[in-house]
């Protein structure tokens, strides 16, 4: 845990609220999803975004992701995994347009 305006590092770990605050702050600063208002972006990003991002970007067997995230079922792990191939096929080009 960082204290004192980032000058001191304490022995305790970050709690879930602090992680969520940092993720929201970073998303706003980076301008991610600029099409949303600042309030909507604050609601769209949280600590949970990190878990979903990990599940989506890990290029390992799904069982390993499931174990790391502590999911009881593979179906729950799949809910966390965002589709990576969404834009690999350009439908406009495939249609000849």
Each residue's pLDDT tens digit, 25-61: 888 888 888 888 878 877 788 777 777 888 888 778 8
Domain identity same for 12 and 29: yes
Q: What range does the domain containing 79 cover?
A: 47-84
Cβ neighbours, 10 Å, residue 66: 19
Q: Count how many domains the chain has.
A: 2
- What is the H or E stretch that residue 92 is in? helix 91-94
**Is 94 part of a structural domain of the chain?**
no
Distance CA(76)–CA(36), nearest Å, equals 28
pTM equals 0.50
Angle at 49 between CA 48 and CA 51, to 5 degrees: 65
Question: With 60 as the cut, is the pLDDT of residue 86 above it?
Answer: no
Question: With 90 as the cut, is the pLDDT of residue 73 above it?
Answer: yes
**Is 12 part of a structural domain of the chain?**
yes
**Is 90 part of a structural domain of the chain?**
no
**Is 16 part of a structural domain of the chain?**
yes
Distance CA(17)–CA(46), nearest Å, equals 9
């Amino acid at each position: 845990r960082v204290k004192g305006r980032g000058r001191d590092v304490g022995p305790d770990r970050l709690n879930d609220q602090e992680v969520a605050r940092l993720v929201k702050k970073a998303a706003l600063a980076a301008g991610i999803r600029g099409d949303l208002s600042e309030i909507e972006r604050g609601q769209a990003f949280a600590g949970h975004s990190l878990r979903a991002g990990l599940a989506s970007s890990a290029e390992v067997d799904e069982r390993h992701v499931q174990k790391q995230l502590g999911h009881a079922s593979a179906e729950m792990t799949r809910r966390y995994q965002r589709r990576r191939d969404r834009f690999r096929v350009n439908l406009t080009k495939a249609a000849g347009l």
